[in-house]
């Protein structure tokens, strides 16, 4: 169960096709790009894990403000260090692919935005989210007052049960209405 | 009935793939396996039996995982099973698995009808699981395990099911189904591999965001459409005429007239699409009006007419299908202001951006949009001077209407002048005078939009509304120009029709003279046809050729102007800014000229109108569609290069997704508007008497009538006569109007139901909140129709 050496077995390929939203070419391309990240000796081992820093050198992820969260969410490592195996990488690409359904995308979007991994989006999560979106520099950040206003507006709109947090179904309710979400939540190699 | 409800919920959760347990799925293989087994054996819609309660182990072994439809003794088992979600059960299951494989051999013969049916259901369910596995947000490992188990199960038991009657057929069916699935998957892969320019567009997307890339995706879609139209036109009209029709020079319409022959090969003449160009398959006049040609007895005039109309039909079908697909993806369509902030937060980042500079721009634009919307929310309507604003808006609209009217008149004037020029000798005219019409139209298309934008600053609208007004005005400009051009062209056509009458009379008179002379001279009634060279025969003015040539020249000049604009406006500007910056007083890159941004809406509108002109002109110039294919191909490469080389990402990066259907809607409108002139000419104007596939007919559509009368069996002619009876058409139209009204009412009803349900949901959630401290299990069942989304909340 996993990739051996630098070739992807035919039966594994067809299983991956069955289990992800990717086409055969996309899986092969993903395999190629993934093995480029490995060092020489790692290439022969099955099921290698690639560390987060190396994953983040991929140009598709480098400029993304949520890159660390993405690695963290899709990682299956016990140490929670954001390292990915090839199958995690395929999971990532499948969720971000063009043909993935709204349910899968919104599920993963919620987990990416949930910075403290507690299953809900509370004020701390939302604040970190806004800071990610407005960039790292000081002149683009919002003031505390603006931040407070923004978060209260958001909670007013999406928090239906008024518990001060946005849970998965409220999030999915908001997201399913948006016409932009599916087309913007896409990463293509 | 709590258990049943739980079942339903369980079903829908399965379909949707949400985690019912709030604990996120990380963790060990064992835990995953356990949960996997639990979920896997959870029933979709039917009851499940627990193994341990069974008495007859032997016979019922295959039935242990069976699904029985609502048999009464099962209900208690259902309850038990639902409550027991423990390791015990899973262990029993795994034992059961092993036991089953051992017992399989012994039990196969004892399968009865009912057991077979149960097993079949199970197998079907496993197949469904395999199909929906990719929609579950679980880890790949777990999914692989599940997939393998499900596949094994299906394989082993499918074989078992095949025993007994009809086994061979069943096995065959199964094998065919597998082959079909594999074939479909390979075909999908092949289709994706065939899509051209994928890398190029992806590169543009990562640098400029999805809005600029949407233009190129639209261009690629247009290219595909034009390829099909080209295939139709070429394969069914041009190729038969070339292969099976008479060659060049054999009949008058296919030969250059004697007086033009010395200049026929000159570049200037060819550039104006005269000379050899005019008398080639590119234009209407070349085609012969023989009813049937060649070995295959191909009916060319009929094919010409049907393809001409079929082009519109196909385009209409494709545009509407794309619009329907786009609107399906567009979400449930909440109102504009319902979730502004949440959407800004959750959906504003474009994950395709792979370039740090674009990312910085995106950050800046997101920050600005946050700040703007916060401020918008806080401040109330400013107490501005409403009267001044209204006056300014009226003034702006008046100015713009004036300029639209002015441009229309200018075009009319210029076309009239060109008709006068056409009567004069060609050598006395300058290049400008010869190409006045096209130059004027292209210049208007270049100059007016920025003019409109400057005037629109008086109006002081919100940017999004201002953009819509701008697009509407540019649309009106292009439309007005095109239709004025058409009207002027029609005047020319009518003039030509007059000349044609006189020439036709002259020709008939000359022929009669010849017959009279011959029979009187040789004293015989059997007169051979006059022996005249095709190049010397008197020709009519052939108005269809004039129209076709007019359109071709317009499109060629439009293309030249576009390319030139890109070269000068973007490339030269970028070169100047880059290299003069070293020796200039102020910073050219940050200040005045700087690098250009890609004008998405201008380019998309240009593309739409170009397509409109192609649709109008294709009937009169079959070669036009081929020309357009070449144009789109070169445009793709040229503009991709230009955008990557000379443009910078927009400062305000905005999404194009919702406007996708807007541009499709415009395309649809342009399609109808370009259909009108063509259908009008087919129905009302009479074709030229000596050129084209309809020469000699009273009206162009007479070909169809002729074919119906002569070639088809007589009862079809009767059917047509009945079908075109107004007494039948009026009720049909009435029925369609009523159907439209009914569908409209139904749609309104759904919208109202949606609003009511939303309100109920809010009320329910409030009441739930009061009764229960925490609130974790939710589910959602989505209706099939696009308009309704039904939400059900449970504990």
Half-sphere exposure of B401 (CA within 13 A, CB side): 6
| B455, B457, B461, B462 alpha-carbon torsion, rounded to 10° | 130
Q: Confidence class of residue B280 from pLDDT cuts 50, 70 and 90?
A: confident
Q: Is residue A3 part of a domain?
A: no
8 Å CB contact between B369 and B344: yes
In this prediction, residue B223 carries a pLDDT of 94
**Encoding tokens for residue A2?**
């996993």
Q: Tell me what pLDDT residue B318 has.
A: 94
CA distance B437 to B557: 10
Cα–Cα distance, B434 to B271 (Å, whole number): 11
Share of chain B above pLDDT 70, in %: 75
CB pairs under 8 A between A and B: 205
Residues of B in contact with A177 (CB under 8 A): 331-334, 338-339
Residue B786, classed as helix, strand or coil, is coil
Q: Which segments of B209-261 does DSSP mark as H helices, in order?
A: 210-233, 239-244
Residue B103 has pLDDT above 50, yes or no: no
CB-CB contact of B668 with B608 (8 Å):
no
Has residue A145 been placed in a domain? yes
Contact (Cβ atoms closer than 8 angstroms) between residue A2 and residue A46: yes
Contact check, Cβ <8 Å, B374/A87? no
Backbone torsion region of residue B223, taken as left when φ is above 0, otherwise alpha when ψ lies between -120 and 50, otherwise beta? alpha
Q: Which two tokens stand for residue B551?
A: 């359109």
Is residue A87 domain-shared with residue A106, that is, in the same domain?
Answer: no
Give the residues across from B791 on adjacent strands: B780
Q: Do B351 and A187 touch (CB under 8 A)?
A: yes
Distances (CA, A) of B278 to B260, B297, B357: 11, 27, 52
Express each pLDDT in B369-385 by its tens digit.
787 777 766 654 455 67
Residues whose CB is less than 8 angstroms from the CB of residue B154 and which lie 6 or more positions away in sequence, other chains included = B123, B126, B127, B130
CB contact under 8 A, B354 and A134: no
A 10 A CB-CB count for B178 gives 11
A35 found inside a domain = yes
Closest CA relative to residue B286, chosen from B688, B703, B614, B700: B688
Which pLDDT value is given to residue B631? 94
Q: Looking at the partner chain, which of A90, A101, A171 has a beta carbon nearest the beta carbon of B140?
A: A90
Contacts of A184 in chain B (CB under 8 A): 210, 347-352, 655, 657
Question: Which helix (H) or strand (E) is B399 found in, with range?
Answer: helix B386-423
CATH of the domain at A56: 1.10.238.10
Radius of gyration (Cα) for chain A, nearest Å? 18
Residue B642: pLDDT band with limits 50, 70, 90: very high
Q: Which of A132, A180, A188 to mutate to test the interface with B (most CBs of B within 10 A)?
A: A180
**A15·B775 Cβ contact <8 A:** no
Q: Tell me how far apart the alpha carbons of residues B244 and B291 are, in angstroms, rounded to a whole number.
A: 12
The whole-angstrom distance between B222's CA and the closest CA on chain A is 20
Q: Which of the 8 DSSP states describes residue B787? A: S
Q: Which residue has 């299908």 as its token pair?
A: B321
Greater confidence, B27 or B244? B244
What whole-number distance in Å separates Cα of residue B388 and Cα of residue B394? 10
- ipTM value for the complex: 0.88
Instruction: For residue B374, give the nearest of A19, A149, A187 by CB distance.
Output: A149
Helical H segments across B428-542, by residue range: 431-434, 436-456, 463-522
The dihedral built from the CA positions of residue B246, B248, B249 and B251, taken in this order, carries a sign that is positive
Task: Compare B429 and B55 and report the one with higher pLDDT.
Answer: B429
Task: Give SS3 for B120.
Answer: helix
Residues of A in Cβ contact (< 8 Å) with B329:
179, 182-183
Tokens (6 digits) for A161: 């049960």
Q: Which residues contact B557 (CB under 8 A, 6 or more apart)?
A: B435, B438, B439, B441, B442
CB-based contact B22 A119, cutoff 8 Å? yes
Is there a single domain that holds both residue A109 and residue A89? no
**Chain segment B574-586, per-residue pLDDT in tens:** 888 888 888 888 7
Beta-bridged to residue B596, according to DSSP, are B647
Are the Cβ atoms of B765 and A109 closer than 8 angstroms?
Answer: no
Q: Round to whole Å and give the CA distance between A132 and B337.
A: 24
Q: Write out the H or E segment, with its range, that includes residue A132.
A: helix A123-133
**Is the domain of A50 the same as that of A113?**
no
Say yes or no to pLDDT of B396 above 50. Answer: yes
Cβ neighbours, 10 Å, residue B365: 18
CB contact under 8 A, B341 and A157: yes
Residue A5 lies in a domain: no
- The residue extents of the domains of chain B are 198-278+289-335+353-693
β-bridge mates for residue B47, sequence order:
B68
Minimal Cα–Cα distance from B185 to chain A, Å?
9
> Looking at residue B24, what is its pLDDT?
37
Which of B25, B195, B345, B759 would best serve as a mutation to test chain A binding (most A beta carbons within 10 A)?
Answer: B345
How long is chain B?
795
In whole angstroms, what is the distance from residue B559 CA to residue B219 CA?
14
Distances (CA, A) of B103 to B64, B91, B118: 12, 18, 17
Torsion (CA) B653, B655, B656, B657 in degrees, nearest 10? 170
Q: What percent of chain A has pLDDT over 90?
A: 7
Contact between residue B343 and residue A180 where contact means Cβ atoms under 8 Å apart: yes
Is residue A2 in a domain?
A: no
> What is the separation of C-alpha B735 from the centre of its chain, rounded to a whole number of angstroms?
29
The model's pLDDT over B411-434, given as tens digits with 9 standing for 90+, comes to 888 888 887 877 776 666 777 777
pLDDT at B310: 93
Instruction: Search chain B and give the residue with CA nearest A129.
Output: B345
- Residues of A within 8 A of B141 (CB-CB) are 1, 76, 87
* Nearest CA-CA distance, residue A8 and chain B, Å: 15
Å between A78 CA and nearest CA of chain B: 8
Query: Quick one: pLDDT band at residue B744, thresholds 50, 70, 90?
Result: very high
How close B153 gets to chain A, by Cα (Å)? 16
Residue B251 tokens read as: 């009949």
Tell me the β-bridge partners of B579: none
Q: pLDDT category, B466, cuts 50, 70, 90? A: confident
Distance from CA of residue A157 to its chain's centroid? 24
- The partner residue sitting opposite A154, judged by closest CB among B22, B341, B765, is B341
Nearest by CB to A87, from B141, B345, B378: name it.
Answer: B141
Mean pLDDT of B390-419: 87
Provide the CA A132 distance to its chain's centre, in angstroms: 14
pLDDT class for B307, splitting at 50, 70, 90? very high
pLDDT of B61 strictly over 80: no
Bridge partners of B608, per DSSP, are none
Q: Using CB atoms, which residue from A140, A172, A184 is nearest to B210? A: A184
Contact B574, B582 (CB under 8 A): no
Name the residue of chain A whose CA is nearest to B343's CA.
Answer: A178
C-alpha A161 chain-centroid distance: 27
Q: Quote the minimal CA–CA distance from A142 to chain B in Å.
A: 7
Q: How confident is the model at residue B781 (pLDDT cuts 50, 70, 90)?
A: very low
Q: Which residue of A has its CA nearest to B14?
A: A103
- pLDDT value at residue B464: 67
The Cα–Cα gap between B455 and B476 comes to: 16
Report residue B791: phi and psi, to 5°: -110, 135
pLDDT per position as a tens digit, A17-63: 888 888 888 899 999 888 888 888 877 777 788 888 888 888 888 88
Q: For B488-545, write each residue's pLDDT tens digit.
A: 888 888 888 888 888 888 888 888 888 888 778 777 666 676 777 777 777 778 888 8
Q: From chain A, pick out residues whose CB is under 8 angstroms from the CB of B349.
A: 64-66, 133, 184
Q: Flag whether pLDDT at B795 surpasses 60.
A: no
Instruction: Quick: pLDDT tens for A136-181.
Output: 777 777 788 888 888 888 888 888 788 888 888 888 888 887 877 8
| Contact (CB, 8 A) for B568 and B546 | no
| The pLDDT of residue B763 is above 70 | yes
List of residues 6+ apart from B298 with CB closer than 8 A? B240, B244, B292
Structural domain that includes position A71? 11-96
Report residue A85: phi and psi, to 5°. -90, 180
Q: B664 or B632: whose pLDDT is higher?
A: B632
- Locate B96 and state its tokens: 């059961």
**pLDDT (average), residues B395-402:** 90
The answer as to whether A160 is a domain residue is yes
Which site among B191, B210, B342, B658 would you substitute to test the A interface, given the most A Cβ atoms closer than 10 Å to its Cβ? B342
Q: Which of A61, A96, A131 is the last residue of a domain?
A: A96
Minimum-distance CB partner of B371 among A87, A146, A187: A146
The residue from A69, A96, A123 where one domain ends is A96
pLDDT band at residue B774 under the 50/70/90 scheme: very low
- Between B50 and B123, the higher pLDDT residue: B123
Same domain, A68 and A30: yes
Q: How far does the CA of residue A39 sit from the closest CA of chain B (Å)?
A: 24
Residues A121, A79 within the same domain: no
Quick count: other Cβ atoms within 10 Å of Cβ B656? 22
Overall domain count for chain A = 2
- Residue among A21, A135, A154 whose CB faces B363 most closely: A135
User: Measured between beta carbons, which residues in chain B are less than 8 angstroms from residue A59?
Assistant: 206, 354
Q: In the structure, what pLDDT confidence band is assigned to residue B733 with cuts at 50, 70 and 90?
A: very high
Q: With CA atoms as reference, report the closest residue to A172 among B135, B16, B786.
A: B16
Chain A residue with Cα closest to B330: A179
Specify the 3-state DSSP secondary structure of B33: helix
Co-location of A84 and A116 in the same domain: no
Instruction: With both helix axes pointing from N to C terminus, report the angle between B300-329 and B210-233 in degrees, rounded to the nearest 10.
Output: 160
Residue A174 in contact with residue B342, Cβ under 8 Å?
Answer: yes
Residue B83's pLDDT band, with cuts at 50, 70 and 90, is very low
Mean pLDDT value across chain B: 75
Give the up-direction half-sphere exposure of residue B655: CA atoms within 13 A in the CB hemisphere.
20
List pLDDT tens digits, range B327-338. Answer: 765 544 445 567
Beta pairing class for B778-781 and B67-68: unpaired
From residue B290, how far is each of B283, B694, B708, B755, B795 by CA, in Å?
Answer: 17, 9, 16, 64, 78
Among A96, A122, A152, the domain boundary falls at: A96
Q: Which residues contact B149 (CB under 8 A, 6 or more apart)?
A: B40
User: Do the Cβ atoms of B96 and B40 come closer than 8 Å?
Assistant: no
Return the pLDDT at B382: 57
Give me B765's structure tokens: 């959630």
Query: Per-residue DSSP letters for B384-396?
Result: --HHHHHHHHHHH
Write down the residue that tokens 């570049």 correspond to.
B267
Rounded Cα gap, residues B74 and B82, in angstroms:
12
pLDDT category of residue B62 using cuts at 50, 70 and 90 = very low
Q: Which tokens sit at B228?
A: 């099909």
Asked if residue B93 has pLDDT above 60, the reply is no
3-state DSSP call for residue A7?
A: strand
Q: Flag whether pLDDT at B85 surpasses 60.
A: no
The pairing of strands B596-597 and B790-793 is: unpaired
pLDDT band of residue B111 (cuts 50, 70, 90) is low
Q: Is residue A46 part of a domain?
A: yes
């Amino acid at each position: 169960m996993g990739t051996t050496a630098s070739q992807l077995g035919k039966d594994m390929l067809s299983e991956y096709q069955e289990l992800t939203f990717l086409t055969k070419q996309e899986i092969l391309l993903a395999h190629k790009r993934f093995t480029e990240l490995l060092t020489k000796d790692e290439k022969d081992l099955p099921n290698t894990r690639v560390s987060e820093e190396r994953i983040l050198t991929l140009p598709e992820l480098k400029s993304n403000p949520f890159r660390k969260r993405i690695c963290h969410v899709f990682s299956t490592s016990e140490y929670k260090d954001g390292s990915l195996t090839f199958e995690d990488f395929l999971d990532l690409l499948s969720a971000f692919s063009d043909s993935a359904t709204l349910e899968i995308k919104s599920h993963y979007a919620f987990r990416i935005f949930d910075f403290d991994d507690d299953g809900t989006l509370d004020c701390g999560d939302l604040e970190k989210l806004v800071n990610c979106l407005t960039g790292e520099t000081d002149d683009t950040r919002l003031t505390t007052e603006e931040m407070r206003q923004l978060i209260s507006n958001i909670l007013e709109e999406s928090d239906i049960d008024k518990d001060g947090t946005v849970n998965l179904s409220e999030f999915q309710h908001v997201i399913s209405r948006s016409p932009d979400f599916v087309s913007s939540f896409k990463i293509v190699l | 009935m709590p258990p049943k409800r739980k079942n339903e919920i369980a079903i829908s959760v399965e379909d949707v793939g949400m985690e019912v347990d709030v604990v996120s799925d990380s963790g060990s293989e064992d835990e995953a396996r356990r949960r996997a087994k639990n979920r896997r054996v959870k029933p979709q819609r039917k009851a499940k039996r627990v193994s341990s309660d069974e008495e007859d182990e032997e016979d019922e072994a295959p039935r242990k995982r069976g699904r029985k439809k609502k048999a009464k003794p099962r209900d208690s088992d259902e309850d038990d099973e639902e409550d027991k979600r423990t390791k015990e059960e899973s262990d029993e299951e795994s034992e059961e698995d092993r036991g089953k494989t051992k017992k399989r051999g012994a039990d196969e013969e004892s399968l009865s009808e009912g057991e077979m049916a149960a097993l079949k259901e199970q197998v079907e369910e496993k197949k469904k699981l395999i199909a929906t596995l990719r929609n579950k947000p679980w880890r790949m490992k777990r999914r692989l395990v599940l997939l393998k188990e499900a596949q094994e199960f299906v394989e082993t038991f499918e074989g078992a099911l095949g025993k007994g009657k009809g086994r061979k057929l069943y096995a065959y069916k199964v094998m065919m189904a597998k082959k079909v699935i594999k074939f479909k998957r390979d075909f999908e892969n092949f289709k994706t591999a065939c899509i051209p320019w994928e890398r190029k567009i992806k590169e543009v997307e990562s640098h400029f965001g999805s809005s600029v890339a949407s233009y190129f995706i639209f261009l690629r879609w247009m290219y595909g459409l034009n390829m099909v139209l080209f295939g139709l036109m070429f394969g069914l009209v041009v190729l038969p005429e070339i292969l099976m029709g008479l060659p060049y020079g054999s009949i008058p319409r296919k030969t250059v007239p004697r007086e033009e022959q010395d200049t026929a090969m000159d570049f200037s003449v060819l550039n104006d699409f005269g000379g050899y160009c005019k008398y080639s398959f590119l234009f209407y006049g070349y085609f012969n009006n023989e009813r049937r040609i060649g070995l295959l007895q191909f009916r060319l005039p009929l094919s010409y007419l049907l393809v001409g109309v079929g082009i519109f039909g196909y385009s209409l079908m494709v545009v509407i299908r794309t619009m329907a697909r786009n609107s399906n993806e567009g979400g449930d369509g909440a109102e504009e202001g319902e979730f502004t902030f949440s959407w800004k937060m959750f959906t504003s980042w474009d994950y395709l951006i792979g370039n740090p500079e674009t990312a910085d721009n995106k950050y800046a634009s997101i920050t600005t949009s946050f700040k703007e919307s916060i401020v918008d929310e806080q401040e109330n309507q400013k107490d501005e001077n409403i009267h001044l604003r209204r006056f300014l808006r009226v003034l702006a609209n008046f100015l713009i209407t004036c300029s639209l009217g002015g441009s229309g008149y200018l075009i009319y004037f210029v076309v009239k002048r060109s008709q006068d020029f056409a009567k004069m000798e060609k050598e006395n005219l300058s290049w400008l005078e010869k190409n006045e019409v096209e130059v004027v139209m292209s210049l208007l298309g270049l100059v007016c939009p920025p003019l409109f934008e400057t005037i629109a600053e008086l109006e002081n609208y919100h940017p999004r509304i201002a953009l819509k007004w701008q697009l509407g005005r540019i649309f009106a400009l292009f439309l007005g120009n095109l239709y004025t051009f058409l009207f002027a062209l029609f005047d020319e056509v009518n003039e030509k029709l007059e000349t044609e009458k006189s020439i036709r009379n002259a020709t008939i008179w000359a022929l009669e003279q010849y017959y009279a002379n011959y029979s009187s001279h040789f004293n015989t009634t059997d007169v051979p046809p006059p022996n005249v060279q095709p190049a010397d025969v008197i020709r009519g003015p052939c108005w269809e050729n004039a129209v076709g040539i007019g359109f071709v020249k317009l499109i060629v000049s439009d293309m030249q102007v576009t390319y030139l604009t890109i070269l000068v406006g973007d490339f030269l500007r970028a070169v100047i800014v880059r290299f003069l910056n070293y020796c200039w007083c102020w910073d050219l890159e940050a200040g005045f000229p700087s690098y250009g941004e890609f004008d998405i809406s201008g380019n998309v509108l240009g593309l739409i109108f170009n397509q409109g002109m192609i649709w109008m002109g294709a009937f009169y110039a079959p070669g036009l569609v081929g020309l357009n294919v070449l144009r789109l191909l070169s445009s793709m490469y040229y503009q991709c290069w230009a955008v990557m080389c000379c443009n910078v990402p927009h400062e305000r990066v905005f999404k194009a997704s919702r406007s996708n259907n807007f541009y499709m809607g415009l395309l649809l409108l342009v399609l109808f508007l370009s259909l009108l002139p063509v259908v009008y000419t087919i129905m009302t104007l009479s074709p030229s008497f000596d050129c084209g596939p309809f020469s000699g007919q009273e009206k162009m559509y007479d070909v169809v009538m002729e074919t119906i009368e002569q070639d088809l069996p007589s009862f079809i002619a009767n059917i047509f006569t009945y079908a075109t009876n107004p007494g039948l058409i009026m009720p049909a139209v009435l029925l369609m109007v009523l159907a439209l009204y009914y569908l409209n009412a139904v749609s309104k009803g759904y919208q109202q139901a949606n609003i009511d349900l939303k309100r109920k949901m809010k009320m329910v959630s409030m009441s739930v909140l009061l009764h229960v401290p925490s609130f974790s299990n939710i589910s959602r069942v989505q209706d099939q129709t696009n308009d309704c989304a039904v939400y059900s909340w449970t504990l």
